[in-house]
Structure 1
């Protein structure tokens, strides 16, 4: 496969996944903002989401305070935000158009129809009671694309690079979400209503609130929430699950292209092994923030190594 084709498929998967992740995070933050203390508490919630989405520096350049209206616009319709929903939809469609012949009809229609419908939205779509409906629409379109890819693509290199981008973006999002609220998981954190709301918000952001109840059959506990999102392979958005899939996918790509493992495979295997054999107690005792910061940095390095070995070198 040509590197430019692999590059477009990889970033198609990343941008499509990113749009859905931002929509999930927005939905959870809206609930948290309703519970927060006036002004300062609300601003902290919106800044936490922008940290998780990796777009706080750009927001700070344009706004002095993280008011809800400005934050929602920045994360949804503002084309100046490269991690916002508008930019992700545009970039996903641009990459899909570049590799149109590598996609199935269902995949192309899912992306193209999303792009067409999104262009009809105006600022009224994110105001007041209409915002939750808009966010549900974004999530449903991401699920439609992922389902089309899973159900209709041949398991060849086109599938592998699309899937690789999706899973790498998903791992990055889970790590950033947990890190943005790491204070609620500290061993000395008070198990009060505020911390309970933070644990619930993290689970809602990855669609895992019901999964938690199914696995643990008990009320929310910080160690169990962290374990579910870090170390439980049954959860598709857990870090260990994501990096297991990244490792397998890189092995399949390598086997189909000469069988020579690269640095990206070594990094993926190292990350997977650390999580597979990790224990949540040790992670929390040594500091969840330090652990997640390391994972996020290594995820960036992994993306760079994948780009160097297989893609056009795009790493942003």
Structure 2
């Protein structure tokens, strides 16, 4: 497979995952802001923007954090190159670049979803329609992942697509945990602290983990259990442990297909060792922030190594 085709598949699914993650953040922000006074609602939208990594860019164009401004900036604003509308455009562009190796069903899922969402976001998104737009974005992701899982050969293309998904998902989860956790709990002295149950529920909703968490732990919103669930529970498909386990398998499959391992496989092994030996007690001894910073750095290094191992720009 040509490096530029592999790059197209890898980034097609990174952008898709990134747009879905933005939709989840907006959905969670909506739920919280509707139950808060104006000042607290603005703080929640500031948190959503910061979690998306776009606070500096947002504040260059807006002086306040009203819901309408925040979600339109994330969804469609022209001066935001990281808007969902822009990212889904990149999904479609990369799908076109990889058109010769993806199925008709996958292309149709991407193209039809793009046309529907682009039309919906051609005008400002109001209070009455933002929920529908967010649902449409999440449905686009579900359709696209379903088409990929149901129609693609388990060859290089499939593994590059899955690697892109897991790299992006791990980055998003680690960022949500780091920023949201410190908004809730500025001190590492988590034992015995008084936590806002609604905010912890919001973290789980931000990663579509509320029902899965309840299934494992019941309805108790406990910071220690939530951190353990989102970092270490490899049964949950959005935990850091699951993301890197799945990523390791796909990188191993690529190495087997190419007949050799690269730097990405070595970095993956090192990450595996750290996560396998980790317990929630050790996690808090290290410090959650310190762990997440190191995890994010390793995740970014693996992504860069994949690009170099498989000559994405060749």
Structure 1 consecutive aligned stretches of length 4 or more whose deviation exceeds 6 Å: none
The answer as to whether partners of 1:22 and 1:75 remain within 8 angstroms in 2 is yes
Counterpart Cα distance in 1 of 2:173 and 2:49: 14
Deviations 1:8-27 (A, max 9, x none): 00001101111111101110
> Do the aligned partners of residues 281 and 67 (structure 1) sit closer, same or farther apart at CA in structure 2, a change above 3 Å counting?
same
Q: How big is the shift at 1:37? A: 4.4
Q: How big is the shift at 1:285? A: 3.5
TM-score with structure 1 setting the length: 0.92
Partner of 2:3 in structure 1? 3
Partner of 1:52 in structure 2? 51
Q: How big is the shift at 1:81? A: 2.5
Partner of 1:161 in structure 2? 160
The answer as to whether partners of 1:54 and 1:83 remain within 8 angstroms in 2 is no
> Do the aligned partners of residues 311 and 165 (structure 1) sit closer, same or farther apart at CA in structure 2, a change above 3 Å counting?
farther
Counterpart of 1:81 in 2: which secondary structure?
coil
Partner of 1:106 in structure 2? 105
Aligned residues: 311
TM-score with structure 2 setting the length: 0.93
Partner of 1:295 in structure 2? 295
Counterpart of 2:145 in 1: which secondary structure?
helix
Q: How big is the shift at 1:254? A: 1.1
Counterpart Cα distance in 2 of 1:198 and 1:263: 39
The answer as to whether partners of 1:16 and 1:142 remain within 8 angstroms in 2 is yes
Partner of 2:208 in structure 1? 207
Q: How big is the shift at 1:38? A: 2.9
> Do the aligned partners of residues 36 and 299 (structure 1) sit closer, same or farther apart at CA in structure 2, a change above 3 Å counting?
farther
The answer as to whether partners of 1:223 and 1:281 remain within 8 angstroms in 2 is no
What is the aligned-residue RMSD (CA, Å)?
Answer: 1.9
> Do the aligned partners of residues 37 and 291 (structure 1) sit closer, same or farther apart at CA in structure 2, a change above 3 Å counting?
farther
Moved more, 19-28 or 62-71: 62-71
Match runs of 1:145-160 below 5 Å: 145-160=144-159
Deviations 1:273-292 (A, max 9, x none): 22222111221243212211
> Do the aligned partners of residues 51 and 275 (structure 1) sit closer, same or farther apart at CA in structure 2, a change above 3 Å counting?
farther
Counterpart of 2:120 in 1: which secondary structure?
coil
Structure 2 unaligned blocks of 5 or more: none
The answer as to whether partners of 1:51 and 1:176 remain within 8 angstroms in 2 is no
Deviations 1:92-150 (A, max 9, x none): 00000111111111110110001111221246562112111110111011011011111
